[in-house]
Chain A
């Protein structure tokens, strides 16, 4: 049973558009949420972390968390070809058998075309 699910890809957007990446999680005990970007053959790179309901903005990136709906999203404004990568949604749980474990979604492949 998957605990973190991401919208199926791949996602293709034109340069300059907004890319919207979505993620749902099944464990209500999840407390911390992360978006990682992974280029082909490279390691995951942290883009955003979010812990509270609402929006968190960092440059062109905005993460949104809705714990009631168990939903977290990442918006990328003014998308650039260099944003083309796999985006991994991940969550951690502060207790129980999942304590200390970072649970990843399957990833969404984003392609930004010129």
Chain B
């Protein structure tokens, strides 16, 4: 089973709202990732967690705040977003950080009004 789940599927929020995206995997993977994908572009890495610790932050604005409560869960807290933050947000996981295959969840389509 290589399933990564994400909720919600779609999210519409105003610029003053606070919302959270959730990601879950039960494959025993120790690395989890957040990506942002704009239309007709490849995914862009935002954050990497390895063994529940933040390993990589790709200079993401502080209005995006990741959290890894345990080895199966990954959250992305959103606050004071801008319309240009509207995108498909993808979660992925891999056995270990590094060269292992990354499996993607279905994504959350975020629209910021």
Contacts and interface: CB of A to CB of B under 8 A. Distances in A.
Interface of A: 31-32, 34, 36, 41-46, 49, 51, 88, 92-94, 99-102, 104-107
A49 B106 CA distance: 20
A31 B99 contact: yes
Range, interface on chain B: 20 to 34
Nearest to A44: B104
Contact of B42 (A46, A49, A51, A106): A106
Contact of A101 (B2, B42, B45): B45
Contacts of B92: 102
B56 interface: yes
Contacts of B98: 92, 94, 99-100
B41 to A, nearest CB: 8
**Sorted from nearest, which 8 A-B pairs have the closest CB atoms?**
A104-B42, A32-B99, A100-B97, A43-B104, A43-B107, A92-B99, A44-B104, A49-B101
Contacts of A107: 42
A102 B102 CA distance: 8
A100 B104 contact: no
A29 to B, nearest CB: 10
A44 B101 contact: no
A98 B49 CA distance: 15
A105 B41 CA distance: 9
A43 B106 contact: yes
Contacts of B102: 34, 46, 102
Interface string B49-81: 010000110000000000000000000000000
7 contacts: A34-B102, A42-B107, A43-B107, A100-B56, A101-B56, A102-B33, A106-B42
